[in-house]
Each structure stands twice: as C-alpha cells, then as structure tokens.
Amino acid sequence: MPKFKLNTHISARFNIELENLRNSVLTMGGAIEQQLSDTLIAMRDNNRGLAEKVVFNDLNVNSMEMQIDEECLRIIAKRHPAASDLRMVLTVAKTTTDIERIGDEIERIARMIAKGKLPDSADIIKNMLSIGNHVMEMLRGTLNAFARLDSQAALLMYREDEKIDAEYKNLLSDTVAEMQRNSEKLEDWLEVLWAVRALERVGDRCKNICEYVFYLTQGKDMRHSPMESLQEKLEDLR
C-alpha cells in the first residue's frame, strides 16, 4: 500500500508539472494572441505607437520560449517520462518554437505599421484586416486544440489554412496590381508585401502546431505524408 501511495503521489506531482507546462504554453499563446490583436487594431487605426509596443513586447515572448525549453529539459531529466508523456514534453518544446516564430511574423507586420508604411489603399488594408481576423481565429482555435489535446479541432484548424491561402493569393495579386500602378513607390510596397506574407506564414505555423497535436493524440505523423506531398509538388510545378 505505501508503495502504491508513493507512486500515486509521484505521478500526481508529475501530472501537476505536466499540467503547469501546458499552462505555460497557453500563457505564451495568450501573449501571442494579444500581440496579433494589438497589431490588427494598430493596422485599423494606423496607430504607430501601439505597433511599436508590439515590437518591444516580442522580447517577452522570446524569454517565455527559453523558460519553457528549460522546464522541458528539467522535467525529462528528473522524471524520465515514458512514451506518451515524453511525446507530450517534446511536443511542447516544438510548439513553443513555432509560437515564438509566430511572434516574429507578427512583429514583422507591426514593424511595417510602426515605420508608417501602411499602404495608401483602403482596399488593401481592409483585405489585410480580413485575413488578419481569419488568422486570429485560426491561432485561437489552434491554441484551444492544443489546450484540450483535441485532434478533431486540430484537423479542422489545419484545413482552415487552405482558405487563408486562397485569401492570401487574392490579396497578393491585388497588392501586385497596386505595385504596378505605383511603381515609383515599390520599396514601400515591398514592406506591405512582406507583411502580407507574414500573415500567411502565421497560418502555416498554426498548421505545424496542429500537426503536433494530431501526432500527440493519434500517434500518427501528419507531416509530409508521402502521397499528399508528391501530389502537392506536382500541382505546384504546373
């Protein structure tokens, strides 16, 4: 009986540690959501001060990543987690890398606004905001899927990226049309182009996180399914 109790006790504490680890990721995710939300407000209102705040806040996100990585190491070294728990901890380490890089993409968008380079086109801004809101939903849904380790939700969000890609392609061709009309301001428009691409990249990174959730819950690797990848490559080259 004492042994059983001891095990339960260790396991309970370990569970708490794993739970804390997941909560740390969610806190980091929440910080990123706030960053994106502030960026979209700054974009809507052309608020350069708020955009600057986002740029500097990115430092906090970076230090969160390092803390969580250290925590992952500590847990593995101390607890020797077995198969499924180990997958969980490694997934956390990979997820924080993606969250940190989502932060970098958001910062890139905020920097364009902070530098006063918002495009001189209400339509383009409107469409950037529209993709931005869509990406925001995807980010929130992805973090929720991670929080609840919900593979169905992860799959749903994973598929959402296709729609974002379609919107992105439209926005890209609108942006190129504007660049053609304003070719003397091409350098400024490039900043817009990088920001548009950064929005799309946030979607890609959410997709990575969905893959990790799927892997964790289903034990199947969604990354690079050979047939699907081959198909994609063939279509891309056409």
Q: Which residues bind its own copies (CB under 8 A)?
A: 52, 55-56, 58-59, 62-63, 65-66, 72-73, 76-77, 80, 82-83, 86-87, 90, 93-94, 97, 111, 114-115, 172-173, 176, 179-180, 183-184, 186-187, 190, 193, 221, 223-224, 226, 229-230, 233, 236-237
To the nearest whole angstrom, how small is the minimum distance from the Cβ of residue 1 to its own copies? 27
First to last CA, the chain: 67
Phi, psi of 116 (to 5 degrees): 70, 30
Q: Minimal distance in Å, beta carbon 140 to its own copies?
A: 24
Q: Which is nearer to its own copies, 162 or 221 (CB)?
A: 221
**In angstroms, rounded to a whole number, what is the distance separating the alpha carbons of residues 88 and 149?**
10
| Six-digit token string for 53 | 């705040």
Cα torsion for 183, 184, 187, 192, to the nearest 10°?
A: -50
Decide whether 146 or 212 has the Cβ nearer to its own copies: 212
Q: Report the nearest approach of its own copies to the CB of residue 210 (Å).
A: 16
Name the burial class of residue 159, with classes exposed (0-12), middle (13-18) and buried (19+) by CB atoms within 10 angstroms of its CB.
exposed
Q: Which is nearer to its own copies, 153 or 200 (CB)?
A: 200
Rounded distance, CA 236 to CA 203, Å?
19
Mapped onto helix, strand or coil, the DSSP state of residue 150 is coil
Of the two residues 23 and 180, which places its CB atom closer to its own copies in the complex? 180
Q: Which residue type occupies 4? A: F
Distance between CA 131 and CA 110 in Å, rounded? Answer: 15
Amino acid at 109: I
Give least dist CB 72 to its own copies, A: 8
Q: Which is nearer to its own copies, 52 or 150 (CB)?
A: 52
Least spacing, CB of residue 230 vs its own copies, in Å: 7
Which candidate, 104, 24, 97, 113, places its Cα nearest to that of 58? 104
Kindly state the smallest distance separating residue 137's Cβ from its own copies, in Å: 25
Residue 96 or 127 with smaller CB distance to its own copies: 96
Collapse the DSSP code of 224 into the 3-class scheme (helix H, G, I; strand E, B; otherwise coil) and give the result: coil
